[in-house]
């Protein structure tokens, strides 16, 4: 079984190709192997120029043809409106055209997974945060054991993949810290990953620093292609996949255009000049 997955929710594009070989099954992870991985540091507007090129080069490096792919995976956000549209639309189009299943993965779940897997205490509160702009953060948080339960769909749905008991919201830094502080129990450790940890440092400083864990693993500020692909594979193994055209970006908040339309600042339909 061959799987490719990508995430374009931020300025960093993450792609990976994985293969499952039942004949090579042995130990944890069985016959699953990482065939190829790409990371591209781009502005989100450039994903439209480089995503298909990256997919083509990754397939070339793996020695695969597009028709060989059995399952597609894609990060559905939250994140950049433009970046998500490009990544999800590309995945929907390719999977639908080839008649293959598509797994939509929470980009924040992929970001949080390495940290949740690293900590030894399953009760550690793990937070993944990215910059949502406009004075807000996209955030996912929950106990490490829950965050690591990647192949559990929320509320019985198959859109996005993250553990039950895990919250995902867009909040101001103040509100996010209040949410985390309410969940922290006496003596409980916590850790945070993602580019959002570099923003609003005064807000993060409100949380107990003495109980903060720092993951000694590099590249924790962005989604890793291998983690995204692993989540997609686990979800597919658990029967969590959907027809390609049913996968949608997860924005968590309305776009500027939607807000202006609701406020009556944009025309309701096409207009013609006289």
- Residues across the chain: 274
Would you tell me how many other CB atoms lie within 10 Å of the CB of residue 83? Answer: 28
For residue 255, pLDDT over 80 is answered with: no
Q: Are residues 120 and 101 both part of a single domain?
A: no
What is the per-residue DSSP string for 115-149?
HHHH-S-TT-EEEEEEEEETTEEEEEEEEHHHHT-
Q: Are residues 94 and 114 both part of a single domain?
A: no
Number of domains, the chain:
2
Q: What pLDDT, in 10s, does the model give residues 57-85?
A: 999 999 999 999 999 999 999 999 999 99
Identify the CATH number of the domain in which residue 18 sits: 3.30.420.40
Mean pLDDT of 202-211: 96
Q: What pLDDT, in 10s, does the model give residues 149-192?
A: 876 655 545 567 777 789 999 999 999 999 999 999 999 999 99
Q: What pLDDT, in 10s, does the model give residues 82-138?
A: 999 999 999 999 999 999 999 999 999 999 999 999 999 999 999 999 999 999 999
**β 102-105/71-75 pair status:** parallel
Give the per-residue pLDDT at 43. Answer: 60
Q: Are residues 95 and 114 both part of a single domain?
A: no
Give the per-residue pLDDT at 40. Answer: 85
- What is the C-alpha separation between 144 and 114, in angstroms, rounded? 10
- What is the C-alpha separation between 51 and 206, in angstroms, rounded? 39
Residue 86 lies in a domain: yes
Give the per-residue pLDDT at 26. Answer: 58
């Amino acid at each position: 079984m061959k799987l490719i997955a990508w995430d374009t929710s931020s300025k960093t594009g993450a792609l990976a190709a994985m293969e499952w070989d039942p004949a090579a099954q042995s130990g944890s992870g069985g016959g699953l192997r990482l065939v190829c991985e790409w990371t591209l540091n781009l502005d989100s507007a450039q994903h439209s120029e480089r995503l298909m090129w990256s997919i083509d080069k990754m397939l070339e490096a793996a020695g695969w043809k597009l028709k060989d792919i059995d399952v597609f995976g894609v990060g559905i956000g939250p994140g950049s409106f433009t970046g998500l549209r490009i990544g999800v639309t590309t995945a929907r189009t390719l999977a639908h055209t080839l008649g293959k299943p598509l797994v939509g993965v929470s980009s924040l779940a992929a970001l949080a997974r390495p940290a949740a897997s690293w900590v030894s205490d399953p009760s550690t509160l793990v937070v993944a945060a990215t910059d949502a702009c406009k004075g807000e953060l996209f955030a996912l948080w929950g106990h490490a054991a829950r965050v690591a339960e990647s192949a559990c769909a929320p509320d019985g749905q198959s859109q996005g993949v993250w553990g039950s008991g895990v919250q995902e919201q867009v909040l101001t830094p103040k509100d996010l810290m209040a949410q985390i502080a309410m969940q922290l129990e006496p003596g409980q450790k916590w850790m945070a990953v993602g580019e959002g940890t570099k923003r609003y440092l005064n807000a993060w400083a409100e949380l107990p620093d003495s109980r903060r864990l720092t993951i000694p693993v590099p590249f924790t500020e962005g989604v890793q292609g291998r983690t995204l692909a692993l989540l997609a594979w686990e979800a597919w193994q658990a029967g969590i996949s959907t027809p390609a055209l049913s996968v949608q970006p997860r924005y968590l908040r309305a776009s500027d255009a939607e807000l202006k339309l609701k406020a009556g600042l944009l025309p309701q339909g096409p207009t013609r000049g006289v």
